[in-house]
Amino acid sequence: MREIRFDRFGGPDVLTLHSDAPTPEPGPEELLVRVAYVGLNPLDYKIRDGSSGRAKDLQLPAGTGREMAGTVLSAGSDLDDAELGSRGLTPGTRVFGMRAPADHRGVAAEVIAIAADELAPIPDEIDDADLPRWAGLALVGLTAIATIEDTARIRSGQTVLVHGGSGGVGQLLIPMALEAGAAQVWATGRATNAERIRDLGATPIAYDTEDWQAEIHRRTDGRGVDVVLDTHYHSTFVPSLDHVVGSGLVVTLPTLADLSPAQERGVEAKVPRLRPGRDRLDRLVQGIRAGRYPLEVSQVLPLAEIAEAHRLLEDGHTRGKLVLDAQA
């Protein structure tokens, strides 16, 4: 089978397509899945270049990618027909999900073995043409749930600023914040993505054509917001400390974010801890089916073009999700 691997940390060109990789054997509680599409995330290039904390214990050569959508082929020895049936994961079922944080194997391959607990069935009524969106749902969806519910704990009536409202995570943070009761959500993004941000329910602030700090100061009458959800961090974290109320909270998503500038100023800041699991995947299914989480896929590239996909990711201006076609 074909699989993407890299044998050293570095730029996108270290990613290599291997056409003769062995088909994996599923462990006792794993499923063998034919991958249809692979969702890409900034975490992927940070692992590839060695800058992520997850790269520290990675054994090279290694695979890449964390989330996917595909079809169940077979199951490990501990998963009989009754168990698979009760989970809705019988062979032939279309599924989506992501590897648990402790599982360092990649998913950018034609066939993978993955823990059954990290997958959920895709509803039968979903057309195959919509599978790319499901491939990009698990990681951003679980991140958004962890951010909104576990970390920010947004309450009714609060005001929220989202940095990166048109990105993959941002497109779920906005509706989830509103769902949690936020009275007003502002979201930064490029001017070309303002209408998308508005469609998601937030008020856009175009950081490439206006000063977002001046705008949030003006729109809140100098009060600031109750919660900042920062998907960017590097250029936005420290400036955001000036625009959160005294009892407010800044949540920054990169796991290696330095929170000391906030601590020195007495501003509460946190990094969310992702918690995977079937219960939360099922909640994402419900949200997608109800039309509450309109996640967007901006581009689908063939598996062999993963280096180009990583370049687009690193550029930092991707709208929605980038996805690889694992069978193309």
Alpha carbon of 180 to those of 109, 137, 147, 148, 171: distances in Å?
A: 37, 19, 12, 8, 15
Q: How far apart are CA 208 and CA 293, in angstroms?
A: 26
- Mean pLDDT for the stretch of residues 199-218: 96
- Of 293, 167, 324, 179, nearest to 230 by C-alpha is 167
Q: Residue 17: is its pLDDT beyond 80?
A: yes
pLDDT value of position 320: 86
Q: Tokens 């779920």 correspond to what residue?
A: 172
Domain covering 3-137+295-325 in this structure, CATH number = 3.90.180.10
Residue found by looking up tokens 């109800």 in the block: 290
Lowest mean pLDDT among 27-31, 225-229, 276-280: 276-280
d(CA 146, CA 280): 10
Measured between alpha carbons, how far is 40 from 86 in angstroms, rounded to an integer?
30
Res 56 pLDDT > 80: yes
pLDDT at position 234 = 87
DSSP assignment of 26-76:
P-TTEEEEEEEEEE--HHHHHHHTT-SGGGTTPPSSEE--SEEEEEEEEE-
pLDDT tens, residue by residue, 219-252: 999 999 999 999 998 899 999 999 999 889 999 9
Phi, psi dihedral angles at 228 (to 5 degrees): -110, 130
pLDDT of 149 above 80: yes
Domain with CATH 3.40.50.720 in the chain: 143-270
Q: What is the pLDDT of residue 268?
A: 96
Locate CATH 3.90.180.10 in the chain: 3-137+295-325
CATH number of 143-270: 3.40.50.720
CB 96 within 8 A of CB 122: yes
Q: Give percent of the chain above pLDDT 90.
A: 90
52 backbone dihedrals φ, ψ, rounded to 5°: -80, 145
